[in-house]
Amino acid sequence: MENNPKPTDVEKVQAAKTTTAEKLEAFKTEAGHHLEAAAAQFDELKDQVVAKAQEFGKDIDIDGIKAKATEHFEAAKVSTAETLAKLQEQADAAFAVAAVKVDEFADAAEDKFEELKVEATVQLEAAQVKLDELKAEAALQIEAAKEKAKGLWDQLFGK
């Protein structure tokens, strides 16, 4: 029966890689939701600014304020989306690098395990040869002791 713990470790590494990929996707999804929420808040704030301006009276250039607020909020939305895209790119890049390293480590672990398995086989075969030699030597020693005992018996009690 062969005991093979290393593939289990490799499987654990691959599972961790998969989990990280899932977390990255969850991060992207959550970031998208935050972007949508921020855009909705920007639109709401714009509407509030326009409403406040209308409360102060007709003397104020409502259309100008509305246009300016829209311009600022649209710029904030674009900036937020760009920042989020950059963060997602950085997360993707970090994950890609980590995934490559995980694969390299898994491959190295498999290679090392194979080397150790070969070395263990060689050591086991050498031990088996030594054991066989010791068994043969013991058999010779036992046979010699029997002959000696028989010779002694014959000397003491005759044939």
The backbone torsions φ and ψ at residue 58, rounded to the nearest 5 degrees and listed phi first, read -80, -15
- At 101 the pLDDT is 86
- DSSP assignment of the chain: -----HHHHHHHHHHHHHHHHHHHHHHHHHHHHHHHHHHHHHHHHHHHHHHHHHHH-TTS-HHHHHHHHHHHHHHHHHHHHHHHHHHHHHHHHHHHHHHHHHHHHHHHHHHHHHHHHHHHHHHHHHHHHHHHHHHHHHHHHHHHHHHHHHHHHHHHH--
Residue showing tokens 């300016």: 68
Question: d(Cα 98, Cα 52) in Å, to the nearest integer?
Answer: 51
pTM over 0.75: no
pLDDT (mean) for 23-50: 77
Over the stretch 44-101, which tens digit does the pLDDT of each residue have?
A: 877 777 777 677 765 667 677 778 878 887 887 888 888 888 888 888 888 888 888 8
- pLDDT above 70 for 40: yes
Over the stretch 116-131, which tens digit does the pLDDT of each residue have?
A: 888 988 998 988 998 9
Instruction: Judge whether 65 and 49 are in contact, CB under 8 Å.
Output: yes
